[in-house]
Amino acid sequence: MRRVAVKFANLDVEFVDREVGLGQVATWAERGALFPVVIFGPEGCGKSAFLRQAAEVLRGFGYDVVYVDVSHVDFTAHTDVAEVARRLAEAASEVSGVAEVKLAYLAIEVIKELIRRGKKRVAVLVDEAFQAIGIEKAGLYVKKLLNLVEYPPRDYERIIAVAATSEGVSRSEIGRHRWADVMPMWNMPREGFQQLYEKLPGPKPPFEEAWRLAGGNPGMLSRLYLTSWDSGVVVTRLIREKRLTPDFVARWRGWLEKAVEDPEALWSPDAPEELIRQLVERNLILYNIYERQQIFWADAPPPETDPELGIGRNVAWQTPIHREAVKRVLDAV
C-alpha cells in the first residue's frame, strides 16, 4: 500500500503506523458497512492524517473516493469524473465561512452524483464538518450520510461514509441516535509514535521523555518540536487556548486536584456535571471511554489505565500536557 505524504510540523512525512485501523478500513472496503462511521478522539491524535491514508486504502480497492477537510477548506477526489473535482473546487473558492458549509454538504452531493453515473464503489470521508455546520446539526448531517448508505440514488455495490471530529460535544449529539457507528480513536501506540519521533531532525530529548509529555499524540509532538522542546511554552499556550483562567480553576479546585491525580475521580457519581461538561467541551478530557475491545475502536485502543499518561478506565486526559496545563494553573492560584 502506498503511504501518503502528510504535513507534520514543518516537514512532509510519510504516514506511519495505524496498521490496525487501516486493516479495519480494508475490511469495510471488502465487506461494505451498514452504517456511516463517526470517528472521534483527542485533538491532534491523528484523525485527519488517518482519513487521508484511508482514502488511499479505499482507492486501492477500486473505490471512487472523496475526502473533504472542511475546517481547512481542502479536498481530494480520487475519481475520473472531472465534474466532481470541479464542483468541490468551486465550493472551496467561496469566502471563508461559506466555503466550509458548502463543502460539507457538497461532499454528500457529489457521492450521489457518482452513484448516478454508475460508479459501484464509492467512499466519502468528511473531516471536521460539525464545527462548520453547527454542532446542533451534527446529528442531521450523520443522518444524511446514513440516507446515502440506505437509500442511494441507484444500485451500487458498496458505499463507505466516514466522518471525523475532535469536538467532544458532537459525540453526544450523534450518540443520541442510532445513525452511525461511533468509534473512538486514541493517540498513537508507542511503536508508531516512536517512528514519527525518529523522523524529527535536530537535537531532541530521549524518546521516553517525548512519550511522557505527548502520550502518543502526534499533534503535541509537533508542537513540542516547533518550540524546540520547550514544554513550558506548549503548556502556557494550552492554558490560554483552553481558557484555564484562575477563576475557572479556583471554582473547581477540589475536583480538579483530584482529577490531576487520577482522572477517574471524575467518574464518581458526585463529580459535578457542569465541570465534566466544561472539560469535555474544551477538549481536555475524554469522558465515558469505551471498553478496550478492539471492535469498538478505530485503530488500537488505549491501555486499560496508565496513571503516568493520565488514562483512567472511564476518563482520560487527552494528553499529559493537557493535565499539566491544569496542574500549572492549580499550582499558581
Ligand X SMILES: Nc1ncnc2c1ncn2[C@@H]1O[C@H](COP(=O)(O)OP(=O)(O)OP(=O)(O)O)[C@@H](O)[C@H]1O
Among 21, 29, 48, 129, binds ligand X (CB under 6 A): 48
Residue 238 contact among Mg ion, ligand X, none, beta carbon within 5 to 8 Å by kind:
none
Q: Per rule CB under 6 A, is residue 76 in the interface with ligand X?
A: no
Residue 332 CB, nearest distance to ligand X (Å)? Answer: 27
Of the pair 54, 249, the CB lying nearest ligand X is at 54
Q: Per rule CB under 6 A, is residue 45 in the interface with ligand X?
A: yes
Of the pair 79, 319, the CB lying nearest ligand X is at 319
Q: Per rule CB under 6 A, is residue 242 in the interface with ligand X?
A: no
Q: Per rule CB under 5 A, is residue 170 in the interface with Mg ion?
A: no
Stretch in the footprint of ligand X (CB under 6 A) among 5-13, 243-251, 270-278, 301-309: 5-13
Of the pair 42, 263, the CB lying nearest Mg ion is at 42
Of the pair 196, 260, the CB lying nearest ligand X is at 196
According to the 3-state scheme, what is the secondary structure of the chain? CCCCEEEECCEEEECCCCHHHHHHHHHHHHHCCCCCEEEECCCCCCHHHHHHHHHHHHHHCCCEEEEEECCCCEEEEECCCHHHHHHHHHHHCCCCCHHHHHHHHHHHHHHHHHHHCCCCEEEEEEECCHHHHCHHHHHHHHHHHHHHHHCCCCCCCEEEEEEEECCHHHHHHHHCCCCCEEEEECCCCHHHHHHHHHCCCCCCCCHHHHHHHHCCCHHHHHHHHHCCCCHHHHHHHHHHHCCCCHHHHHHCHHHHHHHHHCHHHHHCCCCCHHHHHHHHHCCCEEECCCCCCHHHCECCCCCCCECCCCECCCEEECCHHHHHHHHHHHHHC
Of the pair 109, 173, the CB lying nearest ligand X is at 173
Beta carbons within 8 Å of 185's beta carbon, 6+ residues apart: 21, 39, 40, 41, 45, 46, 47, 50, 164, 297, 298, 299
User: Which position's Cβ is nearest ligand X?
Assistant: 46
Q: Per rule CB under 5 A, is residue 222 in the interface with Mg ion?
A: no
Question: In Å, how far are 239, 301, 322, 328 from 232, measured between CA atoms?
Answer: 11, 29, 12, 10
Q: Per rule CB under 6 A, is residue 15 in the interface with ligand X?
A: yes
Q: Per rule CB under 6 A, is residue 16 in the interface with ligand X?
A: yes
Residue 95 CB, nearest distance to Mg ion (Å)? Answer: 22
Q: Per rule CB under 5 A, is residue 48 in the interface with Mg ion?
A: yes
Of the pair 84, 125, the CB lying nearest ligand X is at 125
Of the pair 6, 325, the CB lying nearest ligand X is at 6
Among 32, 43, 143, 204, binds ligand X (CB under 6 A): 43
Query: How far apart are alpha carbons 298 and 261 in whole angstroms?
Result: 28
Q: Per rule CB under 6 A, is residue 74 in the interface with ligand X?
A: no
Residue 110 CB, nearest distance to ligand X (Å)? Answer: 22
Residue 137 contact among Mg ion, ligand X, none, beta carbon within 5 to 8 Å by kind:
none
Q: Per rule CB under 6 A, is residue 223 in the interface with ligand X?
A: no
Which residues are bridge partners to 6 per DSSP? 13
CA 134 to chain centre: 17
Q: Per rule CB under 5 A, is residue 187 in the interface with Mg ion?
A: no
Site for ligand X in 93-122 (CB under 6 A): none
Residues of this chain that bind ligand X (CB under 6 A): 6-8, 13, 15-18, 43-49, 128, 166, 196, 218-219, 222
| Contact footprint for Mg ion (CB under 5 A) | 47-48
